[in-house]
């Protein structure tokens, strides 16, 4: 059984690696975004509450997020373990998670932190371009289109999303750093943080993660 938390700044490739880890360990990938959407779709009381916050552009408060996490961790498919993605983000959330897991007689076994230099992240995220017609995604350095500004697939015009500008990305990285540095220290004190180099290829990042998991699972 393996209870894992994956961390890393925006653009570090957490989502890609999380899917691979969940498949490798045969555990559910628990993402707060996915859970929020599932609750809203079910139109549960919790879902209605979440929707009311999201519709007005507000952050979902900790107590609501914690309620959603608790409900999800009590489901049968988490018996062999789980992979948390996007929660906790702050010390109070981490303390709430400790409380939930303690009630269940469980604890976190591993925190995987994908490290990427902020400048690399800035280049990665600000270089993204999206087709206005079909939504295909390109990158001006890593995955350029054949004709500048024109989609290879449908000939549509490519644009830069408003959340991919230097200013917006820098702000997101700053917020992450301020929120998350204390959280990493919180888990480092328990000796369960494994740092992984996120500047490698997707396959090499996963190889490193796989080695970490195997060493702990022994």
Catalytic site residue from 72, 124, 128, 129:
128
Catalytic site residue from 14, 72, 124, 129:
14
Question: For the residues 70-95, what does the mean pLDDT come to?
Answer: 94
- C-beta atoms surrounding 111 within 10 Å: 21
Catalytic site residue from 161, 188, 190, 214:
161
14 catalytic residue (yes or no): yes
| Helical H segments across the chain, by residue range | 14-25, 32-42, 45-55, 62-73, 91-103, 118-126, 166-188, 202-217
Element spanning 123, H or E: helix 118-126
User: Among residues of the chain, what percentage have pLDDT more than 90?
Assistant: 72
172 catalytic residue (yes or no): yes
Show the domains of the chain with their CATH numbers. 2-217 (3.40.50.300)
pLDDT grade, residue 179 (50/70/90)?
confident
pLDDT tens digits along 125-146: 899 999 999 999 999 988 999 9
């Amino acid at each position: 059984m393996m209870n894992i938390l994956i961390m890393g700044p925006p653009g570090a490739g957490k989502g890609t690696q999380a899917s691979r880890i969940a498949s490798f360990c045969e555990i559910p990938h628990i993402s707060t975004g996915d859970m929020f959407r599932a609750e809203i779709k079910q139109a549960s009381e919790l879902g209605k509450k979440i929707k009311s916050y999201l519709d007005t552009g507000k952050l979902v408060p900790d107590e609501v997020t914690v309620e959603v996490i608790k409900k999800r961790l009590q489901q049968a498919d988490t018996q062999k373990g789980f992979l948390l993605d996007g929660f906790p983000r702050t010390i109070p959330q981490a303390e709430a998670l400790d409380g939930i897991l303690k009630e269940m007689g469980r604890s976190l076994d591993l925190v995987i932190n994908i490290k990427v230099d902020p400048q690399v992240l800035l280049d990665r995220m600000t270089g993204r371009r999206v087709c206005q017609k079909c939504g295909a995604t390109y990158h001006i350095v890593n995955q350029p289109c054949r004709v500048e500004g024109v989609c290879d697939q449908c000939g549509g015009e490519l644009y830069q999303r408003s959340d991919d500008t230097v200013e917006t990305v820098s702000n997101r990285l700053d917020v992450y750093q301020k929120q998350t540095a204390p959280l990493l220290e919180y888990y480092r004190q328990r000796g369960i943080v494994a740092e992984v180099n996120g500047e490698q290829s997707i396959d090499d990042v996963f190889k490193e993660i796989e080695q970490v998991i195997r060493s702990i699972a022994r």
